[in-house]
């Protein structure tokens, strides 16, 4: 700033005077009581904490209830008191009144059933083409039970049911009769007797000698 003092150049005047007043001119009319307790003074009653807690709980309960009523319900659509979502049901499915029949567990079944007697008979399982339960089949005796002496005649008896009905003695001639329809038409009858010459061993010696002489004379 020393160089300005040694020159004749004067500083230009400011556009407006610097008339700022640094002394406060306001009036502090707020008392110490009001500064501590506010404009109304100390007229606040004592706070009942128990009542405050009840009011907070009641307000929270009402808020939660309102939120539950307005929000989505997870129980909706389960039937009964919860309602049924008919628009979500399958059109091809059976109704809610349908009761499916399921077989009993193996531990619940009565395996004594169907054995007859006191256990009952399962008539629906019986073969329609089979004989009834009153059928008694006749079974042949075992080989060890049979009487092999039977059928030998005499005291052992005769098995007439095994006798051949056909008479094989017919056609043997005599008392058995003759089957004339079976005879050869070109054959001689039963009364025919063939004359057979005797063998030379059966003929006499004189006759043999005379025959030999006659033969030699003829050849002579």
pTM of the model: 0.21
pLDDT score of 61: 96
Tokens of 48: 């009942």
pLDDT score of 62: 96
- Of 101 and 44, more confident: 101
When pLDDT is averaged across residues 189-199 and rounded to a whole number, the result is: 86
* Those residues with Cβ within 8 angstroms of residue 220's Cβ, 6 or more apart along the chain or in another chain: none
Average pLDDT, the chain: 78
Alpha-helix runs per DSSP H in the chain? 2-5, 32-37, 49-70, 205-219
Cα–Cα distance between 164 and 90 in angstroms, integer?
A: 83
pLDDT score of 60: 96
pLDDT score of 217: 61
Cα–Cα distance between 125 and 114 in angstroms, integer?
A: 9
Rg over alpha carbons for the chain, rounded to the nearest Å, is 76
pLDDT in tens, 153-175: 777 778 788 877 777 777 777 78
Cα–Cα distance between 10 and 114 in angstroms, integer?
A: 139
54 band by pLDDT with thresholds 50, 70 and 90: very high
- DSSP code per residue over 133-161: TT-----PPPGGG--TTTTSSGGG---GG
Residue with tokens 């009001």: 34
């Amino acid at each position: 700033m020393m160089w300005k003092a040694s020159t004749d150049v004067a500083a230009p005047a400011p556009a407006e005077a610097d008339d700022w007043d640094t002394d406060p001119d306001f009036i502090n009319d707020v008392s110490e009581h009001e500064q501590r307790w506010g404009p109304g003074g100390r007229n606040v009653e004592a706070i009942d904490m128990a009542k405050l807690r009840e009011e907070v709980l009641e307000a929270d309960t009402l808020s939660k209830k309102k939120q539950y009523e307005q929000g989505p319900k997870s129980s909706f659509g389960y039937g009964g008191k919860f309602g049924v979502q008919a628009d979500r049901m399958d059109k091809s499915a059976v109704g809610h009144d349908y009761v499916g029949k399921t077989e009993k567990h193996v531990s619940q079944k009565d395996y004594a059933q169907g054995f007859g007697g006191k256990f009952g008979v399962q008539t629906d399982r019986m073969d329609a083409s089979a004989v009834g339960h009153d059928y008694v089949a006749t079974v042949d005796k075992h080989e060890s039970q049979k009487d092999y002496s039977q059928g030998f005649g005499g005291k052992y008896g005769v098995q007439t049911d095994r006798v051949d009905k056909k008479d094989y003695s017919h056609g043997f001639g005599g008392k058995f009769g003759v089957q004339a329809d079976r005879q050869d038409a070109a054959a001689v009858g039963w009364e025919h007797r063939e004359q057979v010459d005797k063998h030379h061993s059966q003929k006499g010696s004189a006759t043999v000698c005379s025959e030999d002489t006659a033969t030699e004379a003829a050849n002579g």
